[in-house]
Amino acid sequence: MDGQSSPASSSARSKPQYFYSESVNLDTERSKENVTVTVRFRPLSPREIRQGEEIAWYADGETIVRNEHNPSIAYAYDRVFGPTTTTRHVYDVAAQHVVNGAMEGINGTIFAYGVTSSGKTHTMHGDQRSPGIIPLAVKDAFSIIQETPNREFLLRVSYLEIYNEIVNDLLNPAGQNLRIREDAQDTINYLQLHDHL
């Protein structure tokens, strides 16, 4: 996720996932990828409009981010959502299949990345009017459990904050500054927070 003033691809630190080229069939290439990168633009806030901020990057179609001032500078992603897209739509297109996969036993991660105020909380948490990816995923997980009475499910939930390299458990006030260790028994080496388990 990212704000329109600073798409992930424009930062000097994070290289673009794919540089757009008319001659390459990116759809075919991307379908083989296990990791997909999606960009969501948020609209300018009223304060940004008052301050005369301008949009520097925009969504050109469903996969391209293009520079407003120099349209020949463009980056391609797996999916790009413009500022009028709803969180529900972002979820349906970019996240729901990960939830469905997880319910079938395929590990998956959905995470939001972006500069401050780019819309991570809005997208992941949301509010009553526009629930985010997390509540939508939990709702789907419970629906799938309900629709599959012949299988037993174990659902575990952690809610963690990583801030300035410090990991805190948001569900357990005692679980602050947790250490992260690798679980050697897990073949895919997932990171587990042992301190509170």
Binding site for ligand ATP (CB under 6 A): 42-43, 45, 114, 116-122
Q: How far is the CB of 120 from ligand ATP (least distance, A)?
A: 3
Q: Which of 82/108 has CB closer to ligand ATP?
A: 82
Name the residue nearer to ligand ATP (CB basis): 6 or 100.
6
100 versus 168: smaller Cβ distance to ligand ATP: 168
Chain residue at closest Cβ approach to ligand ATP: 119
Minimum Å gap between C-beta 73 and ligand ATP is 24
Chain centre distance of CA 175: 25
**Of 137, 113, 130, 132, the residue nearest 8 (C-alpha):** 113
Binding residues: 114-121
CB of 58 to ligand ATP, least distance (A): 14
State the number of CA atoms in the 13 A half-sphere of 89 facing the CB: 11
In 120-195, which ranges are continuous DSSP H helix? 120-124, 133-147
Q: What is the dihedral of CA 5, 92, 105, 148, to 10 degrees?
A: 150
Residue 81: CA count within 13 A, CB half-sphere: 23
Least distance (Å) between residue 118 CB and ligand ATP:
4
Binding-site residue positions for ATP: 114-121
Smallest gap, in angstroms, from Cβ of residue 127 to ligand ATP? 8
Is there a contact between 87 and 95 (Cβ–Cβ < 8 Å)? no
Q: Which is nearer to ligand ATP, 45 or 158 (CB)?
A: 45
In 53-180, DSSP assigns E strands to 57-60, 64-67, 74-76, 79-81, 160-163, 166-169
Specify the residue, 21 or 45, whose C-beta has the smaller distance to ligand ATP.
Answer: 45
